[in-house]
Amino acid sequence: MKRLFTILLVVAAGTTFAQQRSLVELRDGWMYSADSGMVTGAFMTIVNRSNQPDTIVAAKADCAEHAEIHTTIRNSDGTMGMRPIGELIVPAQQTVVLKPRSLHVMLYGLRRSLRPGDRCILSLETKHSGTLRIDLRVRR
């Protein structure tokens, strides 16, 4: 009986952990088309349904040598530019939208040419929710 109780406790803990992990979700992922070796941007919606903030600390993609989270900034001369950010906080019970000319993921050194309809898997590493994956569909 004690052994059965222990097994049930482990299963319940695993189920609770799995439910907590699924409280941060990546949706509507897409990226621009680009040639092999080039750079492109990836975009999505991040939904945090948990009661605690989570932080994205790293990005990687199966179609690129390197990936970084970027933000768009206005330079001192009035032109627009980009800069990497080390971490992206996703507040509790909030949605963060990554979109062109705003927050986005830059993919460097594409391993293959990507055309509309192709796909790429992007992984975002978080502080609390583990690794989140999204299937990016290539557009224009």
**Domain annotation for the chain: domains and CATH numbers:** 24-139 (2.60.40.1890)
User: Which pLDDT tens digit goes with each residue over 85-99?
Assistant: 999 999 999 999 999
Q: Quote the pTM value.
A: 0.81
**Under DSSP, is residue 133 helix (H, G, I), strand (E, B) or coil?**
strand
Q: What is the pLDDT of residue 3?
A: 58
